[in-house]
């Protein structure tokens, strides 16, 4: 049996509950949460969908590290020693292993308001991303025709389109923790994705740059690479931010 | 995104789309662009939809030496001649336009050296016509459509769970839905309603589908009296990761991967000597299962998918997602070791009966995407055709719904207010009852349903097993009629949603088993070990299942066009 300790919240009331779940080989933290929800406490809530690390629903803090519950093996984290020196700081590196420890700590992702238990207010995150207007505009009179895109450029864009908007990066970001209006790593990575895309038209690019050219945008980043280290899809938002800074500095 | 502020119990939109995957979003865009008011209701945020998990690609005859006719022939042969040929013609003719549209909207398709959209070979296709974005095609298409929806400021009711369709005078008048954030129940009035709610994979034990894929939308239509078509045709994907059954794309074989049994033999040679690993899914899935059943699989029940000869560079460029999934979920790096795979439920060829414009037999109700049976996939869907199906028929149903509202005029407000008020109150009472008193919880009944479906309505079927499954389903339905929800929370009551969905899952299981028992032949994915041959004389027809005490089965003819049924060999 493995113990799973979950930070619960309802309204202003916060408390920790500990449950014992039966471990089976290959079990993920998400499966452990299902065992709790289906067999032990039906009131527990969390988000989920694909269970295969592609939909981005189940971002949370696991042993104080931001990550996807479906992608985290229970066997990898149950023996992990958690650095408790600063309770307000998210952890980025795995702790040392204590072979006798059989417990995992699960808490909601930071920097977003908790709705209940492990469900946080993602609308805030989506609004930040949407505020950079992340889309391609096509003039109404343009007839549909295949664009020619260099395969190398397509691969570069792909590093950023791999983002699944799980907000793990947002939960790890010190600038987002300080300032609720900071656009955050996901929105800024997306801005670079559209900057790179030859299908974006010139006026939209100028508009895009003006939207990220502020303290709430690319100049608010601490350049500590937390987002890069936690991203489950290997998207590098800090790289995108630095490239956008280069572009704006050159202008 | 717009804030949801509702100050009354009745919300009204011209057209409502239920489900926010590719089909639903494409329909919503069309409706918006034709100038009508549309809202999308989804139990998850749109980008969490299962469309995003699709890996391998989307078919379109873009090449100058390819043609829509060739695409149509492959699709119809793949369907074992059960697909309606008029709808397949539309699917294949409109494919290039829809794919180029997605490209224009910003979908990051993989490219050839010359910068044009790349295409890879796929199972059952005579030509490499599958366009792809690495092995994350669904993800890229879904995010692209979502961006276009956000751009248009289309209203989305995210994390709202639809519990019933509103029906009055034989016409669909909208739906009743529950806001997951506070459990409030609201009646949604609309002149047309489009179901785009996806498949039901999770009624099986082993499925590639997301956990949310419980076929709830299909059961909404069924409970409202709309027939379900060809539900006995369930696709089992040949290659799902052993243990978790996460999808390992057909693209892995399209790029050149081998299937090997424990004797290191490329066994497909014995089942489909010309096409080998790229035979259609039903054939490859049966071959793998047979290898395992006859003792040539690995302990636990799997075979190997070997990609090592492709090399690290090609794997990273074309199959990066597969590499990551194998490392994350099986601890295996396909650059160095073969991937352990087994067949798993993957797709529903059947669904809510609907036509070439997504119209169901109920006025005002449309169904598209995996929840629908149009039928373009017949008895077996080809890889790369489901993503195509979503955008082609999503657009068409959106346009048809707009035309319908323009031509047919609006339903009398008094009638619709009466219906919506009554159905909302009924629904509140039903949910209230579910949450009063003691009874069995959903989880054990669901586990037993999954095990019955896996065992008796899987890759291989026979009369004895199906008859037994029928008895089991009846018992489970009886138990489910008394099930109770213990949790009384109002905010994200997952137990309540699970309980409501389970009732629908049992209905669908019942229909699948009935259809499979009645159909005494083997065609495509429906394989009866006691009726091994396809029987065109008696069974070249679609099954229609209507809700009754037991599902009532009727049949309708298949639309045959330019391709007469032939023996299906690969």
pLDDT digit string (tens) for B371-381?
Answer: 999 999 999 99
Is B247 near chain A, with CB under 8 Å? yes
Residues 264-303 of B with CB under 8 A from A: none
Distance between CA atoms of residues A65 and A73, nearest Å: 13
Distance between CA atoms of residues A190 and A194, nearest Å: 6
Q: Which of B309, B329, B346 is the last residue of a domain?
A: B346
For residue B3, pLDDT over 50 is answered with no
> Is the CB of A155 less than 8 angstroms away from the CB of B247?
no
Residue B144 lies in a domain: no
Alpha helix segments (H runs only) across B375-493? 385-408, 413-434, 442-456, 463-480
Q: Consecutive 10-residue runs of chain A (251 residues): their mean pLDDT?
A: 97 97 94 96 97 96 97 95 85 91 96 97 98 92 88 97 98 96 98 97 95 97 97 97 96 81
Distance between CA atoms of residues A146 and B101, nearest Å: 8
Is A205 near chain B, with CB under 8 Å? no
Tell me the DSSP string of B251-308.
HHHHTT-EEE-TT---GGGGT-TTTGGGS-HHHHHHHHHHHHHTT-SBTTTBEEEE-G
Domains identified in chain B, total number: 2
A25: chain B residues, CB-CB within 8 Å: 243
Question: Is residue B340 within 8 Å of residue B298, measured between CB atoms?
Answer: yes
- How do the domains of chain A map onto residue ranges? 2-116, 121-250
Cα atoms in the 13 Å half-sphere on the side-chain side of B493: 20
Question: Is residue A151 within 8 Å of residue B111, measured between CB atoms?
Answer: yes
What are the residues whose beta carbons fall under 8 Å from the beta carbon of B566, sequence distance 6 or more? B77, B81
Q: Which residue of A has its CA nearest to B210?
A: A50
Q: Which of B103, B108, B495 sits opposite A146 (nearest CB)?
A: B103
Separation in Å, CA of A184 to nearest CA in chain B: 17
Residues 18-37 of A with CB under 8 A from B: 25-26, 37
Question: Is residue B68 within 8 Å of residue A185, measured between CB atoms?
Answer: no
> Is the CB of A150 less than 8 angstroms away from the CB of B115?
yes
> Is the CB of B495 less than 8 angstroms away from the CB of A43?
yes
- If phi > 0 it is left, if psi is from -120 to 50 it is alpha, else beta; for residue B174 that is left
pLDDT digit string (tens) for B393-426?
Answer: 999 999 999 999 999 877 777 777 777 888 888 8
Residue B146 lies in a domain: no
Is B63 near chain A, with CB under 8 Å? no
What's the CA angle centered on B64, arms B59 and B69, to 5 degrees? Answer: 55
Is A144 near chain B, with CB under 8 Å? yes
Is A1 near chain B, with CB under 8 Å? no
Question: Is residue B347 within 8 Å of residue B370, measured between CB atoms?
Answer: yes
What's the CA angle centered on A215, arms A213 and A221, to 5 degrees? Answer: 95
Is B101 near chain A, with CB under 8 Å? yes
Residues 463-492 of B with CB under 8 A from A: 485-489, 491-492
Is A133 near chain B, with CB under 8 Å? yes
For residue B2, pLDDT over 50 is answered with no
Distance between CA atoms of residues A112 and A62, nearest Å: 16
Residues 72-131 of A with CB under 8 A from B: 115-117, 119, 122-123, 126-127, 130
CB pairs under 8 A between A and B: 166
- CA nearest neighbour of B525 among B390, B346, B290: B346
The residues that bridge with B348 in the sheet, in sequence order, are: B234
Distance between CA atoms of residues B537 and B540, nearest Å: 7
Note the pTM of the prediction, 2 decimals. 0.96
A116: chain B residues, CB-CB within 8 Å: 489, 491-492
- ipTM, two decimals: 0.97
Cα atoms in the 13 Å half-sphere on the side-chain side of B405: 25
Distance between CA atoms of residues B27 and B29, nearest Å: 5
User: CATH no. for residue B296?
Assistant: 3.90.700.10
Residue B508 lies in a domain: yes
Q: In whole numbers, what is the pLDDT of chain B averaged over residues?
A: 95
Q: Which of A45, A52, A53 sits opposite B492 (nearest CB)?
A: A45
For residue B5, pLDDT over 70 is answered with no
B247: chain A residues, CB-CB within 8 Å: 52
Distance between CA atoms of residues B106 and A147, nearest Å: 10
Distance between CA atoms of residues B426 and B404, nearest Å: 29
> Is the CB of B150 less than 8 angstroms away from the CB of A130?
yes
Separation in Å, CA of A84 to nearest CA in chain B: 27
Helices (H) and strands (E) in chain B, counts: 15, 21
Q: Which helix (H) or strand (E) holds A16?
A: strand A13-21
> Is the CB of A151 less than 8 angstroms away from the CB of B113?
yes
Residues 131-170 of B with CB under 8 A from A: 133-134, 136, 139-140, 143, 147-148, 150-151
- If phi > 0 it is left, if psi is from -120 to 50 it is alpha, else beta; for residue A29 that is alpha
The CB density around residue A103, as the number of other CB atoms within 10 Å, is 17
Strands B15-18, B38-42: parallel, antiparallel or unpaired by DSSP? parallel
The residues that bridge with B158 in the sheet, in sequence order, are: B42
Q: How many residues does chain B have?
A: 570
What are the residues whose beta carbons fall under 8 Å from the beta carbon of A171, sequence distance 6 or more? A59, A61, A66, A90, A109, A110, A111, A112, A230
Distance between CA atoms of residues B211 and B50, nearest Å: 9
Distance between CA atoms of residues B314 and B108, nearest Å: 18
B202 part of the active site: no
Question: Is residue B394 within 8 Å of residue B354, measured between CB atoms?
Answer: no
> Is the CB of A115 less than 8 angstroms away from the CB of B52?
no
pLDDT digit string (tens) for B247-297?
Answer: 999 999 999 999 999 999 999 999 999 999 999 999 999 999 999 999 999
> Is the CB of A136 less than 8 angstroms away from the CB of B106?
yes
Question: Is residue A147 within 8 Å of residue B103, measured between CB atoms?
Answer: yes
Is B42 near chain A, with CB under 8 Å? no
> Which pLDDT does position B8 carry in this prediction?
62
Residue B172 lies in a domain: no
A199: chain B residues, CB-CB within 8 Å: 104, 106
Distance between CA atoms of residues B217 and B86, nearest Å: 26
Residue B151 lies in a domain: no
Separation in Å, CA of B516 to nearest CA in chain A: 28
Strands B15-18, B351-353: parallel, antiparallel or unpaired by DSSP? unpaired
Domain that includes residue B243, residue range: 236-346
Lowest mean pLDDT among B190-194, B397-401, B438-442: B438-442
DSSP, collapsed to helix, strand or coil, labels residue A202 as: helix
Strands B192-195, B185-189: parallel, antiparallel or unpaired by DSSP? unpaired
Strands A2-10, A13-21: parallel, antiparallel or unpaired by DSSP? antiparallel
Residues 81-100 of B with CB under 8 A from A: 97, 100
> Which pLDDT does position B1 carry in this prediction?
28
What are the residues whose beta carbons fall under 8 Å from the beta carbon of A122, sequence distance 6 or more? A112, A167, B45
> Which pLDDT does position B6 carry in this prediction?
47
Separation in Å, CA of B67 to nearest CA in chain A: 17
Distance between CA atoms of residues B282 and B512, nearest Å: 17
Q: Which helix (H) or strand (E) holds B88?
A: helix B85-104
Distance between CA atoms of residues B169 and B446, nearest Å: 35
> Is the CB of A45 less than 8 angstroms away from the CB of B494?
yes
Q: Which of A55, A123, A148 sits opposite B115 (nearest CB)?
A: A148
State the average pLDDT over residues B158-173: 94
> Which pLDDT does position A144 carry in this prediction?
84
Structural tokens at position B303: 């075979």
For residue B23, pLDDT over 50 is answered with yes
**DSSP code at position A218:** G
| Extended beta strands in A87-161, E state | 103-107, 114-116, 119-120
> Which pLDDT does position B420 carry in this prediction?
81
DSSP, collapsed to helix, strand or coil, labels residue B342 as: strand
B492: chain A residues, CB-CB within 8 Å: 45, 115-117, 119
Is A40 near chain B, with CB under 8 Å? no
Which one of 1.10.1060.10, 3.40.50.880, 1.20.1260.10, 3.40.50.150 gives the CATH number of domain A121-250? 1.10.1060.10
Residue B175 lies in a domain: no
Q: Which of B1, B48, B151 sits opposite A123 (nearest CB)?
A: B1
pLDDT digit string (tens) for B459-473?
Answer: 999 999 999 999 999
Could you check whether the bond before residue A95 is cis, i.e. omega within 30 degrees of 0? no
Determine what percent of chain B is predicted with pLDDT higher than 90: 89
Q: Exposed, middle or buried, A204 (CB in 10 Å: 0-12/13-18/19+)?
A: middle
B535 shares a domain with B443: yes
Catalytic one among B206, B281, B318, B461? B281
Q: How many angstroms separate the Cα of B461 from the Cα of each of A173, B187, B455, B518, B530?
A: 53, 42, 9, 12, 8
Distance between CA atoms of residues B428 and B443, nearest Å: 23
> Which pLDDT does position B408 carry in this prediction?
87
Structural tokens at position A48: 């989920």
> Is the CB of A49 less than 8 angstroms away from the CB of B48?
yes
Q: Which of B313, B329, B346 is the last residue of a domain?
A: B346
Is A164 near chain B, with CB under 8 Å? yes
Is B108 near chain A, with CB under 8 Å? yes
Separation in Å, CA of B137 to nearest CA in chain A: 10
Structural tokens at position B528: 């009866």
Question: Is residue B346 within 8 Å of residue B240, measured between CB atoms?
Answer: yes
Distance between CA atoms of residues B434 and B487, nearest Å: 11
A47: chain B residues, CB-CB within 8 Å: 44, 48
Distance between CA atoms of residues A241 and A231, nearest Å: 15
Domain A2-116 grouped into CATH 3.30.390.50:
no
B442 shares a domain with B336: no
Is A149 near chain B, with CB under 8 Å? yes
Q: B118 versus B415: which is more confidently predicted?
A: B118
Q: Exposed, middle or buried, B35 (CB in 10 Å: 0-12/13-18/19+)?
A: exposed
- If phi > 0 it is left, if psi is from -120 to 50 it is alpha, else beta; for residue B198 that is left
For residue B427, pLDDT over 90 is answered with no
What are the residues whose beta carbons fall under 8 Å from the beta carbon of B399, sequence distance 6 or more? B30, B34, B357
- CA nearest neighbour of A193 among A234, A230, A244: A244
């Amino acid at each position: 049996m493995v113990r799973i300790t979950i930070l619960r919240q309802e309204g202003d009331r916060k408390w920790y509950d500990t449950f014992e779940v039966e471990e089976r080989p290959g079990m993920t933290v998400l499966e452990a949460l299902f065992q709790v929800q289906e067999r032990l406490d039906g009131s527990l809530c969390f988000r989920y969908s694909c269970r295969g690390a592609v939909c981005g629903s189940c971002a949370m803090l696991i042993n104080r590290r931001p990550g996807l519950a479906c992608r985290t093996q229970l066997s990898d984290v149950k023996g992990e020693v958690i650095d408790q020196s600063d309770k307000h700081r998210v952890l980025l590196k795995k702790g040392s292993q204590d072979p006798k420890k059989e417990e995992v700590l699960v808490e909601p992702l930071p920097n977003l308001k908790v709705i209940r238990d492990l469900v946080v207010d993602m609308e805030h995150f989506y609004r930040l991303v949407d505020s950079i207007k992340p889309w391609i505009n096509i003039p109404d009179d343009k007839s549909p025709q295949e664009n020619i895109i260099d395969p190398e450029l397509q691969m570069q864009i792909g590093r950023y389109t791999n983002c699944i908007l799980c907000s793990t990066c947002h939960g790890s970001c010190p600038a987002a923790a300080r300032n609720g209006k900071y656009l955050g790593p996901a929105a800024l990575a997306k801005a670079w994705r559209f900057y790179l895309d030859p299908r974006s038209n010139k006026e939209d690019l100028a508009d895009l740059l003006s939207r990220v050219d502020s303290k709430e945008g690319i100049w608010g980043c601490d350049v500590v690479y937390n987002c890069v280290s936690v991203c489950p899809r290997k998207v590098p938002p800090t790289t995108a931010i630095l490239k956008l800074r280069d572009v704006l500095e050159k202008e | 995104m717009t804030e949801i502020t509702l100050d009354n119990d009745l919300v009204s939109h011209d057209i409502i789309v239920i489900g926010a995957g590719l089909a639903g979003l494409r329909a919503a865009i069309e409706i918006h662009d034709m100038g009508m008011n549309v809202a999308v209701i989804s139990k998850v945020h749109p980008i969490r939809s299962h469309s995003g998990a699709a890996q391998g690609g989307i078919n379109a005859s873009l090449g100058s030496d390819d043609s829509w006719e060739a695409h149509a022939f492959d699709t119809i042969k793949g369907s074992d001649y059960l697909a309606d040929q008029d709808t397949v013609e539309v699917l294949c003719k409109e494919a290039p336009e829809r794919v180029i549209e997605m490209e224009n909207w910003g979908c990051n398709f993989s490219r050839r050296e010359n910068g044009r959209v790349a295409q890879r070979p796929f199972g059952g296709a005579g030509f490499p016509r599958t366009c792809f974005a690495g092995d994350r095609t669904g993800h890229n298409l879904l995010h692209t459509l979502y961006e276009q929806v956000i751009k248009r400021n289309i209203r989305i009711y995210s994390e709202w769970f639809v519990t019933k369709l509103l029906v009055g005078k034989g016409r669909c008048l909208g739906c009743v839905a529950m806001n997951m954030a506070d459990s409030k129940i609201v009646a949604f009035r609309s002149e047309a309603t489009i179901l785009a709610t996806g498949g039901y994979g999770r009624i099986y034990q082993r499925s590639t589908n997301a956990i949310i894929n419980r076929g709830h939308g299909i059961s909404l239509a069924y409970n409202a009296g709309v027939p379900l078509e060809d539900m006995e045709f369930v696709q089992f994907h040949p290659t799902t990761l052993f243990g978790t059954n996460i999808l390992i794309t057909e693209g892995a074989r399209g790029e050149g991967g081998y299937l090997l049994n424990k004797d290191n033999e490329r066994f497909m040679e014995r089942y489909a000597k010309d096409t080998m690993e790229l035979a259609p899914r039903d054939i490859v899935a049966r071959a793998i299962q047979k290898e395992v059943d006859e003792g040539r699989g690995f302990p636990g029940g799997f075979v190997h998918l070997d990609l090592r000869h492709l090399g690290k560079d090609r794997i990273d460029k074309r199959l990066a997602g597969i590499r990551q999934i194998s490392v994350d979920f099986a601890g295996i790096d396909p650059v160095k070791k073969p991937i352990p795979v087994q067949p798993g439920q993957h797709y529903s060829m059947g669904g809510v009966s609907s036509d070439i414009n997504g119209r169901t037999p109920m006025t005002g109700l449309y169904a598209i995407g995996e929840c629908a049976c149009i039928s373009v996939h017949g008895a077996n869907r080809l890889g790369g055709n489901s993503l195509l199906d979503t955008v082609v028929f999503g657009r068409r149903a959106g346009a048809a719904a707009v035309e319908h509202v323009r031509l047919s005029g609006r339903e009398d407000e008094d009638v619709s207010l009466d219906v919506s008020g009554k159905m909302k109150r009924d629904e509140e009472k039903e949910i209230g009852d579910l949450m009063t008193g003691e009874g069995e919880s959903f989880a054990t009944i669901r586990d037993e349903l999954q095990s019955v479906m896996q065992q008796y309505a899987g890759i291989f079927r026979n009369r004895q097993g199906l008859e037994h499954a029928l008895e089991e389903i009846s018992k489970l339905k009886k138990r489910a009629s008394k099930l109770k929800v213990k949790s009384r929370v109002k905010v994200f009551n997952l137990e309540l949603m699970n309980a409501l969905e389970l009732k629908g899952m049992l209905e669908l299981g019942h229909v699948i088993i009935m259809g499979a028992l009645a159909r005494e032949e083997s065609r495509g994915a429906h394989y009866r070990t006691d009726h091994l041959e396809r029987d065109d004389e008696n069974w070249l027809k679609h099954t229609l299942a209507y809700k009754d005490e037991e599902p009532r089965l009727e049949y309708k003819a298949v639309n045959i066009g330019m391709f007469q049924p032939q023996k299906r060999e690969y």
